[in-house]
């Protein structure tokens, strides 16, 4: 019997030459440019402003944007590799590029008009940071229970409301904001708008003081009669829910990449530590109990990595990927919590101090089970698709 290899599925984890070169370049950038700044940025709760142009200079803020708008015309797999490589050093820095690529550039590329793409994607690849604004004080997991309203007035829309938990809020100049144009229509009244920081009636409010990913800005947005030109409606009026859902489905792959990067960074630091730290006259790495715990952690991390890569490959192949993305986000965030917790424990008392990197990896891991859909929301998505029949 002859068994034929399905070449379309074989290279799940075998990277192409371009992917390998890209991953290695981003890894070197993270080690050389990001790592020396990590502790200071975490203490300050702010990204080093000199670092942001470096991300643009390397093309990391427009990985999958078409070349005609200044992007690299790359793939979701390359976005995944980039986010993973930076997260291995600092999740806060990785989130800057993750949000830009998956939650801002992607919907503009897919749903924007030619004029919108020319106006905004060219800026977003050249040095302008973007943000995605769906969540509100009263609607987190209930993503479409929006209180923010949009009213048509002549050639403009006027938006009133508040947005909360907006990543990149402090640095962003361009925002994709969701509001309800017809409350009686339910989710069919949701519409997406492209808002510039300088628009009348728009302001950035409180910046959150967080447990982890501290250097990544998380802010409130205030829309006090914000005037938005009708030309800045993204997609059809009333179709914002579709844009939001499809964007978040892709964004979950990015969160999965972030999580496996965080876990890898913590595990690498711990392997080095147990090789050097001695107890009872020999390195910790020689104790079987330590070896088995690390082996288990590495195995779970590899399973999570495969799930994230698979979701990215499916997306790039034009195949359905919603369930796989939800599974990857769910599992990778759970694994990363376990792995980073173990890494703190294996460092003993030192792991509880800021002298070693694992305490930060541990703090950064928690957000993975919360944003872009909590673990319960991922389970709901998976169950819905599983039981559809």
Catalytic residues: 372
Q: Is the distance from CB of 58 to CB of 29 less than 8 angstroms?
A: yes
Q: Is the distance from CB of 24 to CB of 17 less than 8 angstroms?
A: no
Question: Which helix or strand (DSSP H or E) is residue 115 part of?
Answer: helix 114-116
**How far apart, in whole angstroms, are the C-alpha atoms of residue 46 and residue 170?**
9
Neighbours of 6 (CB within 10 A): 7
Beta bridge partners, 57, equal none
> Tokens 């986000």 identify what position?
329
**How far apart, in whole angstroms, are the C-alpha atoms of residue 235 and residue 7?**
37
Q: What is each CA distance from 337 to 154, 254, 305, 344, in whole angstroms?
A: 51, 17, 14, 11
Q: Is the distance from CB of 68 to CB of 122 less than 8 angstroms?
A: no
Question: Which helix or strand (DSSP H or E) is residue 153 part of?
Answer: strand 149-153
Q: Is the distance from CB of 224 to CB of 203 less than 8 angstroms?
A: yes
Q: DSSP labels for 127-176?
A: T--EEEE--BTTBSSSTT----EEEEETTEEEEEEEEEEEETTTT-SEEE
CA 208 to chain centroid, in Å, comes to: 18
Integer-rounded Cα radius of gyration of the chain: 21
Instruction: Tell the burial category of 139 from Cβ atoms under 10 Å away from its Cβ (0-12, 13-18, 19+).
Output: middle
> Tokens 């796989």 identify what position?
324
Neighbours of 144 (CB within 10 A): 17
């Amino acid at each position: 019997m002859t068994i034929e290899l399905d070449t379309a599925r074989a290279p799940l984890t075998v990277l192409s030459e371009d992917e390998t070169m890209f991953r290695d370049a981003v890894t070197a950038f993270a080690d050389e440019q990001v790592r020396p700044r990590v502790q200071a940025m975490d203490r300050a709760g702010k990204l080093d402003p000199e670092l942001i142009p470096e991300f643009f200079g390397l093309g990391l803020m427009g990985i999958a944007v078409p070349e005609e708008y200044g992007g690299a015309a790359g793939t979701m797999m390359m976005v995944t590799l980039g986010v993973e490589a930076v997260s291995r050093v600092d999740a806060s820095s990785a989130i800057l590029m993750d949000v830009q690529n998956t939650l801002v550039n992607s919907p503009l590329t897919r749903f924007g008009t030619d004029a919108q793409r020319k106006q905004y994607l060219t800026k977003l690849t050249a040095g302008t940071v973007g943000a995605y604004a769906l969540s509100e004080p009263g609607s987190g997991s209930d993503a479409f229970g929006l209180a923010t309203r949009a009213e048509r007035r002549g050639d403009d829309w006027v938006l009133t409301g508040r947005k909360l938990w907006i990543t990149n809020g402090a640095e962003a100049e361009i925002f994709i904001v969701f509001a309800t144009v017809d409350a009686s229509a339910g989710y069919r009244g949701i519409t997406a708008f492209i808002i510039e920081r300088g628009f009348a009636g728009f302001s950035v409010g409180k910046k959150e003081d967080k447990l982890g990913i501290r250097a990544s800005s998380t802010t409130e947005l205030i829309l006090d009669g914000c005037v938005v030109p009708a030309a800045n409606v993204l997609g059809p009026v009333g179709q914002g829910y579709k844009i939001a859902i499809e964007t978040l489905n892709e964004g979950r792959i990015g969160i999965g990449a972030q999580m496996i990067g965080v876990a890898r960074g913590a595990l690498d630091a711990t392997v080095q530590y147990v090789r050097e730290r001695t107890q009872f006259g020999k390195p910790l790495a020689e104790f079987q109990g330590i070896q088995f715990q690390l082996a288990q952690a590495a195995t779970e991390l590899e399973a999570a990595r495969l799930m994230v890569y698979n979701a990215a490959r499916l997306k790039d192949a034009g195949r359905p990927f919603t369930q796989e993305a939800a599974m990857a986000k769910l599992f990778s965030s759970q694994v990363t919590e376990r792995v980073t917790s173990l890494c703190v424990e294996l460092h003993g008392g030192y792991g509880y101090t800021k002298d070693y990197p694992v305490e930060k990896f541990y703090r950064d891991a928690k957000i993975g089970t919360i944003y872009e859909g909590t673990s319960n929301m991922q389970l709901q998505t998976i169950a819905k698709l599983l039981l559809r029949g």
